């Protein structure tokens, strides 16, 4: 029995070539569209409504809150929430954005903002700062990130890139990758321009609230001292992890205050009831 050998005719060969050309053109076109989408993400991501952003992230927020984070003392929670609302009232051009403050039990000197206007504050931050003014500066900085929608822009670019690469490679997102995406939704890193804009917005709010800018740079000084004695303590704070960055932020805050004629005066300590509840080492 003779083996059958299929010989491709000239017409079949031309059809296959056309198919391959179209496939290649489609892949190239998708790659170009993906690059353009990522490059212009800041512009069109802002078109996403605040309400849709909040609905999208809320299941992740609920999961993390319920399973991984321990709430701080209720009195400390209420105090920080009230202070955040007060400092927010002194910020200009604030959109209709719901800000949610959650104070957690954590020794780290840290606060961060994620999608949907959710702001987390470690109670170790309160212990390290010692004054209402310096805490207000940090809260105003995080609120500024939410106002500017920095978490959406930061996370959105990363997610778009991951989706584009997965599509181009023909791969699928496994459980591990899905977990990485969830992590991106909760924790963001901001670029220097975003950080500086938030710093300067916070400085203006601090002056509006207290009539001076005392305590504005306390966090950076604390982090600098920590890096000298405990460098490992700053490993997860990318934008605050080097002396030049900390020094630069202190420098431009002092320069902006000086240009506006804003002075530093005595800071306001925490209320006695709060100071008594802040955990000591």
In the chain, where the domains are located: 11-41, 48-277
**Strand ranges (E), the chain:** 100-104, 111-114, 118-122
124 near 108, Cβ under 8 Å? yes
Q: How far apart are CA 173 and CA 149, in angstroms?
A: 27
b/e 98-116 (16+ beta carbons within 10 angstroms → b): ebbbbbbebeebbbbbbbb
Residues with Cβ within 8 Å of 76's Cβ and at least 6 positions away in sequence, in order, are 103, 123, 126, 274, 277, 278
Please provide the average confidence, as pLDDT, over all residues in the chain: 78
Q: Does 281 score more than 70 pLDDT?
A: no
The model's pTM? 0.76
Q: How far apart are CA 150 and CA 188, in angstroms?
A: 9
Radius of gyration of the chain (CA): 25
pLDDT tens figures, 154-175: 776 555 555 444 444 544 444 4
Q: How far apart are CA 97 and CA 113, in angstroms?
A: 13
Query: What DSSP element (H or E) covers 109?
Result: none
Q: How far apart are CA 199 and CA 19, in angstroms?
A: 55
Q: Does 47 score more than 60 pLDDT?
A: yes
Q: What is the DSSP letter of 234?
A: G
Order of strands, sheet of 100-104, starting from the edge strand that comes earlier in the sequence: 100-104, 118-122, 111-114
Alpha helices in 40-72 (DSSP H): 41-45, 50-67
**What's the whole-number mean pLDDT along residues 222-246?**
63
111 near 121, Cβ under 8 Å? yes
**What's the whole-number mean pLDDT along residues 196-205?**
96
> Does the CA dihedral 238-259-126-145 come out positive or negative?
negative
Sequence length of the chain is: 281
pLDDT computed for residue 35 by the predictor: 52
Query: What DSSP element (H or E) covers 265?
Result: none
Higher pLDDT, 186 or 71: 71
Higher pLDDT, 209 or 156: 209
Higher pLDDT, 92 or 223: 223
């Amino acid at each position: 029995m003779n083996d059958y050998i299929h010989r491709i005719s000239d017409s079949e060969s031309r059809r296959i070539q056309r198919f391959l050309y179209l496939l290649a053109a489609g892949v190239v076109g998708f790659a170009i569209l993906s690059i353009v989408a990522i490059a212009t993400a800041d512009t069109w991501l802002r078109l996403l409504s605040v309400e849709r952003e909040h609905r999208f992230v809320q299941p992740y927020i609920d999961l993390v809150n319920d399973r991984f984070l321990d709430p701080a003392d209720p009195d400390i929670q209420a105090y920080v929430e009230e202070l955040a609302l007060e400092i927010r009232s002194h910020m200009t051009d604030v959109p209709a954005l719901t800000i949610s403050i959650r104070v957690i039990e954590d020794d780290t000197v840290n606060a961060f903002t994620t999608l949907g206007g959710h702001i987390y504050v470690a109670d170790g931050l309160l212990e390290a700062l010692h004054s209402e003014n310096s805490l207000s500066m940090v809260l105003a900085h995080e609120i500024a990130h939410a106002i500017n929608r920095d978490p959406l822009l930061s996370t959105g670019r990363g997610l778009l890139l991951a989706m584009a690469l997965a599509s181009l490679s023909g791969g699928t997102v496994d459980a591990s990758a899905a977990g990485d995406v969830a992590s991106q939704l909760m924790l963001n890193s901001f670029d220097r321009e975003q950080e500086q804009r938030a710093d300067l917005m916070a400085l203006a709010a601090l002056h509006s609230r207290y009539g001076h800018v005392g305590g504005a740079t306390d966090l950076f000084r604390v982090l600098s001292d920590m890096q000298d004695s405990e460098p490992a303590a700053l490993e997860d704070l990318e934008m605050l992890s080097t002396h030049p960055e900390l020094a630069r932020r202190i420098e431009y805050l002092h320069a902006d205050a000086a240009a506006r004629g804003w002075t530093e005066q005595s800071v306001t300590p925490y209320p006695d009831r709060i100071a008594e509840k802040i955990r000591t080492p």
